[in-house]
Amino acid sequence: MWEVAYAQAETAAKQPSMLESLFPIIFIFLVFYFLIIRPQSKQRKLHAEMLQNLKVGDEVLTAGGIFGKVEGLTDKFVTLEVDEGVSLKVLRTQVMNLARQETKSN
């Protein structure tokens, strides 16, 4: 009877090493880094580069779904011509990507 109690006490006292207990946390962090953090930072860099290289005459699409041609640029704003005689001023950061107008052939 005492032997059984003694054997159980020994197995209950064994604790994992510090490395063994940190391994799951490190693994989860690496998964998050490669699946979430790294791709988002790459996408953010590409978007910032695209905004920096905007020029008058580029056709762009905004976050609100407005398609227009760049008429004017400042540090914070972009003036878009959305139709003949209709211009909108939007924040430069709201320009999502360059858009190419597709030509329809009949």
pLDDT tens-digit series, residues 20-77:
889 999 999 999 999 999 999 999 999 999 999 999 999 999 999 999 999 999 999 9
Tell me what pLDDT residue 99 has. 84
pTM of the model: 0.67
Tell me what pLDDT residue 103 has. 46
Using the CB atoms, write b or e for 56-85: b if 16+ within 10 Å: eebebebeeeeebbbeeeeeeebbbeeeee
In the numeric block, which tokens belong to residue 54?
């905007």
Tell me what pLDDT residue 13 has. 58
CATH topology of domain 55-101: SH3 type barrels. (2.30.30)
Angle at 76 between CA 93 and CA 46, to 5 degrees: 35
